[in-house]
Amino acid sequence: MIRGYLTAHPVVVDIVVAALYLVPSIAGALIVSAREPSVPETVHLFLSAVAGVALLARRQRPAVVFAIATVVLGASVFLGRDVDVLPTLFALYALAVYRSIRSAWIAFAVTSAVTVATLTAEVLLAQAKVFTPLQTAALPSGILVLAFSVVAVLIGSNVGNRRRYLDALIDRARQLARERDQQAVIAAAAERSRIAGELHDIVSHSLTVMITLADGSARLAGTAPERSAETMELVAETGRGALADMRRLLGVLRDGDGDAAREPQPGVADLGGLVETFRAAGLPVRITVSGVPPEDAGQQLTIFRVVQEGLTNALRYAATATSVRVVLVFQPGSVIITVDDDATVHGAPGQGSGRGLIGLRERVGLYGGTLEAGPRSGGGWRVRAVFVAVRGAQTATGTATSSRSPEPREETL
């Protein structure tokens, strides 16, 4: 309780410390001056008052307080009847606590030099009968001054080390708190980026298909009403699927909605339904798969998103394409995805934001791969992704024979 109170009220402590020195010193000097008025006693009284007031700043300016205390220490040998060492002790303690232990020991060396020099001069002047000697002999006075000074430095060093240790612990705790907050911000930004990429993939694909189907239905409304109705049913089905995907994705952000987080992400097994959707929208898609796909859920989602984005761009910009070919090659150590179209003229890329390919590059880059998108030599457009395959232990050891000599197969929908 006492330590907590003193720590919480440093000004009160400084006032008490100054009063402990100032009140007895001023009272004693006034009594001596009243009995035997003299110039040395008046000077000593003034120096004692200055030293007492300076003790109020021992926390903020310990070096200045020590300099004033040293002057009082040296002058008291010639102005008073005892060595005035108390301000010096407070100053040495303050240096060890609020500055450093090294500075406290340097100050102790200065105190020792001043004490030895002034007491030696006092002895020589007393022998020459020029100066009235102190009430205490010079040698005991010097020993007491040095002994009390060592004690003050040692106590200050102990308290200062404990204080600096606690400050280091508090600073470390603050650094850890800042790092924790920074990691939380980074994680939140990464999660927002991930959700934004997923939303882009879902919305871009679904809206592109729905717009294409709606345009076709409008053209067929007058000539083939039945086909127009079937097309609008596909529009509704695509919209419901997109809505379900968005609910699943956003459900993980709601507290207590654990079911949405456990629903599986789309993978290679869902490519058939994806291709069927684009075929229904009028895109002539053929897909060829060779090898055994990786079992990692993250890579399966990456494969699905690359194919989805490639077909979405083909449906959006390659309206004149007569063939769109998707080739998936699953090798033991790599995955190669190619989406080609033969459209001689591609629409201006004004409908999209350009974030789709950026998101795909980030997805592929997570597995040490690359994504290329651009015109191909024979005409048309190509999207090609290559990244390292993540295999399970059984497949990696070669027990899965189907991954050694994969046979190409073309999906039939």
Please tell me the class of the 269-413 domain.
alpha beta
What was the pLDDT predicted at 339? 93
What was the pLDDT predicted at 261? 46
What was the pLDDT predicted at 256? 46
Phi first, then psi, for residue 266 (nearest 5°) are: -65, 150
Phi first, then psi, for residue 373 (nearest 5°) are: -140, 125
- Whole-number Å distance between alpha carbons of 171 and 344: 65
- Whole-number Å distance between alpha carbons of 395 and 292: 10
- Whole-number Å distance between alpha carbons of 218 and 232: 9
What was the pLDDT predicted at 355? 63
Counting Cβ atoms within 10 Å, is residue 90 exposed (0-12), middle (13-18) or buried (19+)? buried
What was the pLDDT predicted at 362? 81
Tokens of 392: 């399970």
What was the pLDDT predicted at 397? 39
Tokens of 411: 């999906």
What was the pLDDT predicted at 401? 36
- Whole-number Å distance between alpha carbons of 335 and 327: 11
SS3 253: coil
What was the pLDDT predicted at 110? 94
Do residues 358 and 307 make contact, with C-beta atoms less than 8 angstroms apart? Answer: no
Strand order in the sheet with 324-330: 370-375, 381-388, 334-341, 324-330, 285-291, 409-410
SS3 388: strand
Residue 139 host element (H or E) = helix 138-220
Domain ranges of the chain: 2-177, 269-413
Question: What is the pLDDT tens value at each position of the chain, 413 positions in all?
Answer: 777 777 777 788 888 888 888 888 878 777 776 777 777 777 878 888 888 888 888 888 899 999 999 998 888 887 766 788 889 999 999 999 998 899 999 999 999 999 899 888 888 877 777 666 666 777 888 889 899 999 999 999 999 899 889 889 999 999 988 888 888 888 777 767 766 676 766 676 677 777 777 777 777 777 777 777 777 877 777 777 777 777 766 665 554 444 444 556 788 888 988 888 888 878 889 999 999 998 888 888 889 888 988 888 888 787 788 889 999 999 988 999 999 998 877 655 545 555 677 778 888 888 888 998 888 877 788 899 999 987 654 443 343 333 333 444 444 33
What was the pLDDT predicted at 74? 85
What was the pLDDT predicted at 201? 67
Do residues 390 and 299 make contact, with C-beta atoms less than 8 angstroms apart? Answer: yes
- Whole-number Å distance between alpha carbons of 27 and 87: 16
Residue 55 host element (H or E) = none
The residues, ordered by sequence, that sit 6+ positions from 144 with a Cβ below 8 Å of its Cβ are: 83, 85, 136
